[in-house]
Structure formats: structure tokens, C-alpha cells
């Protein structure tokens, strides 16, 4: 049969974000895959060396814009680790609540994009509608819909508004019912299941070796969640299960993320009841000593996010390194794709949940 | 619900990991700081591959979190920084390898952990650190035909593109 | 051509005759003002059709693309304005650039722009497309999409709220209405 290289991207309805997937196909079967990234590379880590520490927080938001709160929180955690700064308890609980709300928002956007890939515009419309509920909550809290600039080094920017608990409780009650509806729309759809089951298989050994983390790893049966294994913020005070599936295919990864949304609702309900009174912010020192390093890793909605910072003696960092979970997931694309058909590519790459802003930095 | 303990059954804490590393490679490894779930070490360039192999096979370090580079222009050296995690022990180890700035070469750990593949490519692309034994050391983020290493301290950005 | 050549019409070849008679018709229509009348009637019809069916290209670059997606959701609903996203540049009217453009993307974006058929418009959405945005001092980011593509509408914001994007498209509608010419494309 004829073999040829096919370019899927950079402008392609399937690609979430700007990258190029070159696949070598033999008829309809994929025999080789080569992802090409770099279309969004802005030299983020180099730009960070020209900015003061607080100025990098809005830049960190725009690393992965689908889950921007998670990245600005990761940056603040990294600098707090370097400065050995202890964040007040109230700030920890507020951060936990907004992080989980961001996780739900990010997973909803992922599901909307997956629906569009598979051709189901209904899933897109339902998920974007539910996401608007959470964006309204965030707007009440910090004024922005997408890139929040809310966490600060030493706490959060402002205290919660007056009806915080009431609004969150109302939204969660409505959301859980609607999420059950969206879940039924996907789970009970024969077309969805046919397209997602038994495609994109990645065994646990392969996933661990290739550095894949997050829901992609848990969809292959490995029960590892940084919120449980290495708790940060208020995660050690709340009760939740680690969601994992043994299927190893795209459907398993989808199930992991939907279950995570339910677990996030559980976490938010518990944390809201337990928020202690107190300050929401401490004042950090303006400069960091030269050569002092710190790092932090968190369970980003897409996997293990990690940042490493080295101080410069003044108020700019000397080196700020970002480890993006999607960078590694995309590099593992050949392992996911080889052997399947071209028409499976949107389902497989959609189930990996990519956000190219953090990949290219 | 009981919080899962930081030790798996038979898992090793950071202190045990550090002790085993020093026992096995006293001439290559220098431990700078240890806590129950973190190990900070400086590893000699010559022994990096052996230390990494030992960590993977004997100490169960199965996930490479990141490989990064740091450019120390005045001290005329570069660092290759490895962060490696062990799932079963819940320990993350940071290993710093010092390289001379005019000849930054170090062994690649890609044969051990496939996840290091693109991390090392990116470190090469941004700093020019050569990873010996890497299957495909090419530029990954900057466009083709770029002839500079952007994150080096002597490269000044800010020009009009 | 002029009417004085009429007696020689019978001696012209087919091609010459066609060219001469077309020239005579043109002169007649312009002189009598029929061309202007047709222009005046057709220009509003063409502009109504063009502006109410702006098909943007399905092209998401960065953060503003998420707000573009939210704008096509049910709360802000861009589709009621006729904006249906098309995947192929040959079938689109509007190139919506919503993110920073890097040196690697620039030739591909230029090719996308050239593949679009006229009439076409370009909307620069967000600070990054207008001027490079927060990455203005990067070695890899083009400082403004208008350095290599002519831009019609600039929508400020970082990221652009969906309401602002729809407002930008309303302004594009006004621009299309003002600039559309009738069938004979004069004046």
C-alpha cells in the first residue's frame, strides 16, 4: 500500500492549540507519528528573568490558559518554597477552593473540545454553559474570567466576597445534576463509546517510563495523585478519593476526568465549611539571595506541574524553569497513536487534554 | 479516612535513599540536604549514568520529572539539573551536575527514562548542553535555522522580530 | 470605442466587434446614470449579505481562543450574528488572529491569509495580535500582526471578553457596510 506523511496542523480543527502532528500512514493505519511543536514559543523563562517576582504572576497565568489559576499558584508556591515563607491557613483554604473550581473549569473545557473533535456540538454547548457558572464565581471573587492574577506570593490578593459560601453551594448543587446529564450523554452514546473505547492504549509501564502524569497516568491504572502523596495547601485536611481506571484507553482517561470533577465538588464542599478566620496574606521579602533555589510540584489538571526558581540577589529571578505535563504527554504521542487509524487521532489526542501554551512556553 | 502514609510498605525515606547513594558512590555523590521526602545532591559528571542506573534499578526511581539547565556566566560553568521521583517511595531527588561552560557535555539518561527525551532536547535547544547518547538531539522549540542558544546569559533578547 | 466607428462594424472581426460593442454599452450606461443607479441599489444588498454571514476561520492560537470558544457558546452566541466557523481558509471571510504570532508561525499565517478569497477581512483580537502584548520583548514573538498582514479591526483586551469580541464584529459590520461597493465597483 502507499505510505505517505500527512501534516495535521498547525491549522487544523482537531488540534487544540498550535502544533503539527506529522503521521506516516499506510492506507489508513498510522505507522509512525512525529509531533512538531514550537509555534507558540515565546521564551517565557527568559522573559521571566527580566521581570520582578510579582510581575511574573500574570505571566504564569498565561502559561496554560485553560487552568491559569493552577499555574499562578504553582509559581507562588515555588517562590514561597525558595523564600521559606509560610502561608496563613485561611489563604491555604481559599487557594484549595479556587484550585478545585479551576480544575472543574479546565475539565469542562477539555470535554467541550473533545466533543467538538468527535463531531458532537451538543457536548460542547452543555460544557461551555456549565463552565460559565464557574467563571461567574471567579469573576465575583477576583474580577476576571480567564486569567485571574489572584494568588500572590504569601497568600491571595483579596479576601472572599460576602456571599461566597452561598454562591458556591448553589452552583455545586446545580452543577452536579447537570454533570450527571452530560455524563449520561457521553456514556450512553453508542457512537461516543465506539470511538473512544480500545483506542490509544498506553500500558502503566509505558506511561511511567515516558513520564506521563496526571489523569493520563491514572487512566492506565497507576494510583498516584500528588494531592495525596505530597499534600500541599489544605489537601491533607479534606477527604477525597484518587480516581483511576484500569482501562488504559481513551475512554478510561475520559472516565478519570469526569470522576475527578465529582471529587472536586466534594473537596470544595468540605473546604468551604472549614475555612478558618485570619489573615489572607503575608508580606514577602522583596528580594531573594543569590543562588538560593526552591521548587514545588502540584497536581495540575493536566498532570504534574513543576517549577524551579533560583534567586539573583535582587528582585528578579536568576532562572525560572517550568515543567509542563503536556510537554511530556505530547512527546509520548507516538506511543499512543501507532497502530490505530487516522480517524482515531482526534479521539486519542483529545483524551490527552493538551494545552499548547504550557508546552511551548 | 486515614491519610495515606508517606511510606509504602517497605518504602524508603529520603534519609535511607541518601545513605544508600553515598554507600554505593562515595566518590561521585555529595548530599547537600535531606528530608523525609526530598534528597538534594550534587553528582559528578563522570558518574551520572551509573548513579542514575542505580537509582532506577535499586532505589525504584521510575519517573523523571524534569531536566533543566542553568547558565552561570561569571563562574564559567553550567548546571544540568535533574529532578527524579520515586512513586513507590514518595521521594523526589534533585541532582545537580556541574559542567564547564565552554564544553557542556553530559551523558543522556534517555535510555533509562524515555520521559527525558524531550526535556534533554529542550535543554540542548535553549542552552547548548550536549547529551551524549541521545537518540535525536535537535532543536525543538526555536524555529529551524536558529543559530543562537536563547537562554544563555550572553544572549540578549528584545530585538524586533 | 466610439459610435463613429459604427459604419465599419460590419467589417470587424468577431473579437473586435465584441470589444467595440461592450465599450459602447459602457459609455451609454455611464452617461445615462444607469450604472450609478444599479450600484446604489446593489451596494446595500451585497453589504447586507456579506456582513451577516461572516465566516471566520477555525483557528485558535492562544488564550483569546478560549474566549472565542466561549463566545460561540450559548451565553454569548456568536452564531446569531452569522458567524459560523469554517475549517478551510478557502471558505472563510474573516481571519481572526487570537494570540501571539511567533517567527515559526509567521509564514504559515501569511499563507493562510493568501489562501482566503476576496472579499476578506482580518481581525486582530487581543493585545498579543495587536502589538506583541505581554511578550513584547521576546526574541521569538512578532510585535504585532499588522507587520505582515493588513488588519481591519483591532480588539483590545487581555484576554478579550466575549462581549468585546462581539462588539468588535459589530464594528466590522459597520465597516463592511461603509466600504461595500455595488456591482460596477466605481466611485
CB contact under 8 A, A38 and B143: yes
Task: Please name every residue paired with B94 in a beta bridge, in sequence order, or none if there are none.
Answer: B40, B83
Instruction: Encode pLDDT of A269-301 as tens digits.
Output: 999 999 999 999 999 999 889 889 999 999 999
pLDDT for res C132: 87
Domain of A26: which CATH number? 1.10.645.10
Domain of B37: which CATH number? 3.30.460.80
Nearest to C105 among A13, A39, A124 (CB): A39
Phi/psi at B56 (5° precision): -75, -45
Q: Is C146 helix (H, G, I), strand (E, B) or coil?
A: helix
Residue C187 has pLDDT above 80, yes or no: no
Q: Which residues of C178-187 are buried (b: 16+ CB within 10 A; e: fewer)?
A: eebebebeee
Residue B4 has pLDDT above 60, yes or no: no
Residue B7 has pLDDT above 50, yes or no: no
Is residue B98 in a domain?
A: yes
CATH 3.40.50.12280 fits C17-187, yes or no: yes
- Residue A268: give the domain boundaries: 3-360
Is residue B151 in a domain?
A: no
- Each residue's pLDDT tens digit in chain A (361 positions)? 688 998 887 888 776 788 899 999 988 899 999 999 989 999 899 999 888 999 999 999 999 888 999 999 999 999 999 999 999 999 999 999 999 999 999 999 999 999 988 888 899 999 999 999 999 999 999 988 988 999 999 999 999 998 899 999 999 999 999 999 999 999 998 999 999 988 888 888 888 899 899 999 999 988 888 898 888 888 988 989 898 888 888 999 999 999 999 999 999 999 999 999 999 999 999 988 988 999 999 999 999 999 999 998 888 999 999 999 999 999 998 888 888 998 889 899 889 888 888 898 8
Share of chain C above pLDDT 90, in %: 40
Q: Are strands B130-132 and B105-107 parallel, antiparallel or unpaired?
A: parallel
| Residue C3: pLDDT band with limits 50, 70, 90 | low
Q: Is C97 helix (H, G, I), strand (E, B) or coil?
A: strand
pLDDT for res B12: 79
Whether chain C has a CB inside 8 Å of the CB on B143: the answer is yes
* Mean pLDDT of all residues belonging to chain A: 90
Share of chain C above pLDDT 70, in %: 94
Share of chain A above pLDDT 70, in %: 99
**For chain A, how many structural domains are there in total?**
1
Which of C55, C58, C59, C62 to mutate to test binding with chain A, by most A CBs within 10 Å of its CB? C62
Chain B residue with minimum CA distance to A308 = B68
Least Cα distance to A302 among A270, A256, A252, A249 occurs for A256
pLDDT for res B159: 65
| Residue B160: pLDDT band with limits 50, 70, 90 | low
Least Cα distance to B118 among B146, B100, B138, B98 occurs for B138
Residue B92 has pLDDT above 50, yes or no: yes
pLDDT for res C16: 82
**Cβ atoms < 10 Å from Cβ of A287:** 15
pLDDT for res B87: 87
CB contact under 8 A, A43 and C139: yes
Nearest to C73 among A12, A128, A147 (CB): A128
Least Cα distance to C116 among C175, C45, C184, C59 occurs for C59
Q: Which residues from C are below 8 Å from B160, CB to CB? A: 143
Nearest to A239 among B1, B116, B118 (CB): B1
Q: Are strands C121-125 and C94-97 parallel, antiparallel or unpaired?
A: parallel
Q: Which residues from B are below 8 Å from A239, CB to CB? A: 1
pLDDT for res B1: 27
pLDDT for res B6: 42
pLDDT for res B21: 87
Least Cα distance to B25 among B44, B10, B38 occurs for B44
**For chain B, how many structural domains are there in total?**
1
Long-range contacts of residues A88-91, Cβ cutoff 8 Å, at least 24 apart: A88/A155, A88/A278, A88/A279, A88/A280, A88/A281, A88/A282, A89/A234, A89/A276, A89/A278, A90/A275, A90/A276, A90/A277, A90/A278, A90/A279, A90/A280, A91/A154, A91/A155, A91/A156, A91/A279, A91/A280, A91/A281
Is residue B111 in a domain?
A: no
- Residues in Cβ contact with B77 at an 8 Å cutoff, skipping those fewer than 6 apart: B98, B99, B100, B101
pTM score, whole prediction: 0.91
Is residue B87 in a domain?
A: yes
Residue C20 has pLDDT above 90, yes or no: no
- Residue B19: give the domain boundaries: 14-104
Residue B2 has pLDDT above 60, yes or no: no
Least Cα distance to B93 among B119, B117, B112, B66 occurs for B66
Q: Which residues from C are below 8 Å from B151, CB to CB? A: none
pLDDT for res A262: 93
Whether chain A has a CB inside 8 Å of the CB on B30: the answer is no
| Residue B59: pLDDT band with limits 50, 70, 90 | confident
CB contact under 8 A, C137 and B157: yes
CB contact under 8 A, C135 and A12: no
Amino acid at each position: 500500500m502507499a505510505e505517505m506523511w500527512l501534516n495535521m496542523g498547525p491549522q487544523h480543527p482537531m488540534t487544540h492549540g498550535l502544533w503539527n502532528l506529522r503521521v506516516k500512514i499506510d492506507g489508513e493505519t498510522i505507522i509512525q507519528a512525529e509531533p512538531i511543536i514550537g509555534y507558540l514559543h515565546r521564551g517565557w523563562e527568559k522573559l521571566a528573568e527580566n521581570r520582578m517576582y510579582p510581575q511574573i504572576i500574570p505571566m504564569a497565568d498565561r502559561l496554560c490558559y485553560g487552568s491559569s489559576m493552577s499555574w499562578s499558584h504553582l509559581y507562588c508556591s515555588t517562590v514561597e518554597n525558595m523564600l521559606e515563607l509560610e502561608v496563613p491557613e485561611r489563604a491555604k483554604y481559599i487557594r484549595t477552593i479556587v484550585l478545585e473550581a479551576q480544575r472543574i473549569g479546565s475539565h469542562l473545557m477539555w470535554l467541550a473540545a473533545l466533543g467538538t473533535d468527535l463531531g458532537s456540538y451538543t457536548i460542547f454547548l452543555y460544557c461551555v454553559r456549565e463552565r460559565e457558572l464557574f467563571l461567574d464565581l471567579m469573576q465575583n471573587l477576583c474580577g476576571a474570567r480567564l486569567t485571574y492574577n489572584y494568588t500572590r506570593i504569601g497568600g491571595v490578593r483579596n479576601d472572599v466576597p460576602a456571599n461566597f459560601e452561598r454562591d458556591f453551594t448553589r452552583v455545586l448543587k446545580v452543577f452536579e445534576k447537570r454533570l450527571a446529564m452530560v455524563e449520561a450523554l457521553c456514556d450512553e452514546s453508542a457512537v461516543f463509546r465506539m470511538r473512544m473505547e480500545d483506542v490509544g492504549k498506553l500500558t502503566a509501564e509505558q506511561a511511567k517510563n515516558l513520564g506521563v502524569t496526571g489523569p493520563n497516568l491514572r487512566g492506565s491504572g497507576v494510583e498516584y495523585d500528588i494531592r495525596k502523596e505530597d499534600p500541599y495547601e489544605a489537601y491533607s485536611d479534606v477527604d477525597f478519593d484518587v480516581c483511576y481506571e484500569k482501562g488504559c484507553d481513551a475512554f478510561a482517561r475520559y472516565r478519570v476526568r469526569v470522576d475527578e470533577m465529582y471529587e472536586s465538588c466534594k473537596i470544595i464542599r468540605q473546604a468551604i465549611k472549614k475555612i478558618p478566620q485570619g489573615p489572607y496574606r503575608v508580606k514577602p521579602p522583596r528580594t531573594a539571595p543569590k543562588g538560593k533555589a526552591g521548587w514545588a510540584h502540584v497536581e495540575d489538571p493536566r498532570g504534574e506541574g513543576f517549577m524551579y526558581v533560583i534567586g539573583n540577589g535582587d528582585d528578579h529571578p536568576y532562572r525560572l524553569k517550568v515543567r509542563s505535563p503536556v510537554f511530556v504527554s505530547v512527546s509520548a504521542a507516538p506511543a499512543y497513536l501507532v497502530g490505530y487509524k487516522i480517524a482515531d487521532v482526534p479521539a486519542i489526542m483529545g483524551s490527552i487534554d493538551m494545552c499548547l501554551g504550557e508546552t511551548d512556553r | 479516612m486515614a491519610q495515606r502514609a508517606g511510606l509504602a510498605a517497605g518504602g524508603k525515606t529520603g534519609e535511607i535513599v541518601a545513605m544508600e547513594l553515598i554507600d554505593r558512590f562515595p566518590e561521585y555523590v555529595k548530599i547537600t540536604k535531606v528530608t523525609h521526602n526530598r534528597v538534594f545532591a550534587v553528582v559528578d559528571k563522570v558518574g551520572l549514568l551509573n548513579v542514575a542506573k542505580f537509582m532506577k534499578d535499586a532505589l525504584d526511581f521510575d519517573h523523571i520529572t524534569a531536566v533543566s539547565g542553568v547558565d552561570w556566566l561569571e563562574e564559567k560553568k553550567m548546571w544540568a539539573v535533574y529532578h527524579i521521583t520515586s512513586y513507590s517511595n514518595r521521594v523526589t531527588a534533585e541532582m545537580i551536575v556541574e559542567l564547564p561552560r565552554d564544553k557542556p557535555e553530559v551523558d543522556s539518561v534517555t535510555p533509562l527514562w524515555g520521559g527525558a527525551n524531550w526535556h534533554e532536547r529542550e535543554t540542548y535547544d535553549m542552552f547548548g548542553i550536549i547529551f551524549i547518547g541521545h537518540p535525536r538531539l535537535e532543536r525543538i522549540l526555536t524555529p529551524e535555522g536558529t543559530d543562537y542558544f536563547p537562554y544563555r546569559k550572553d544572549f540578549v533578547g528584545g530585538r524586533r522580530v | 470605442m466610439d459610435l463613429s466607428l459604427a459604419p465599419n462594424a460590419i467589417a470587424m472581426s468577431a473579437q473586435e466587434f465584441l470589444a467595440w460593442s461592450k465599450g459602447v454599452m459602457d459609455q451609454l450606461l455611464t452617461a445615462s446614470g444607469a450604472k450609478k443607479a444599479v450600484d446604489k441599489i446593489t451596494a446595500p444588498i451585497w453589504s447586507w449579505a456579506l456582513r451577516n454571514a461572516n465566516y471566520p476561520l477555525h483557528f485558535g492560537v492562544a488564550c483569546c481562543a478560549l474566549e472565542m470558544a466561549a463566545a460561540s457558546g450559548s451565553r454569548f452566541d456568536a452564531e446569531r450574528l452569522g458567524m459560523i466557523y469554517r475549517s478551510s481558509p478557502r471558505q472563510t471571510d474573516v481571519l481572526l488572529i487570537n494570540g501571539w504570532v511567533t517567527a515559526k508561525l509567521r509564514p504559515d499565517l501569511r499563507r493562510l491569509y493568501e489562501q482566503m478569497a476576496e472579499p476578506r477581512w482580518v481581525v486582530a483580537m487581543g493585545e498579543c495580535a495587536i502589538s506583541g502584548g505581554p511578550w513584547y520583548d521576546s526574541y521569538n514573538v512578532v510585535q504585532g500582526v499588522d507587520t505582515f498582514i493588513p488588519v481591519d479591526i483591532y480588539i483590545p483586551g487581555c484576554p478579550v471578553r466575549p462581549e468585546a469580541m462581539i462588539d468588535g464584529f459589530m464594528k466590522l459590520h459597520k465597516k463592511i457596510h461603509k466600504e461595500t461597493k455595488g456591482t460596477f465597483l466605481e466611485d
